[in-house]
Amino acid sequence: MPLLTVVTVLIVVGVLLWLVNRFIPMQGTIKSILNAVVVIVVVLWLLNVFGLFSSFSHIRVGG
């Protein structure tokens, strides 16, 4: 994936998150949870894009 695409996706996600935080009234805890979820998803996506997340595919949780 080209670096320009990665930067564009990060900018779009950041602007969308800012718009949601700025213009949609929400309780503070819900806003914090939303921000945390978006950050975690973006970090996992970046790890996958750069090929670092695939090394964790052999780890199994549970049975």
Instruction: Give the model confidence (pLDDT) of 4-62 as tens digits.
Output: 999 999 999 999 999 999 999 999 999 999 999 999 999 988 988 888 877 666 667 77
Q: Whole-angstrom Cα distance, residue 26 to residue 22? A: 10
* pLDDT tens digit sequence for 1-13: 789 999 999 999 9
pLDDT of residue 59: 67
Judge contact between 53 and 47, C-beta under 8 A.
yes
**Overall pTM surpassing 0.95 (yes/no):** no
Cα 3 to Cα 7, 8, 39, 46: the distances in Å are: 6, 9, 19, 11
| Residue 43 contacts residue 11 (beta carbons within 8 Å) | no
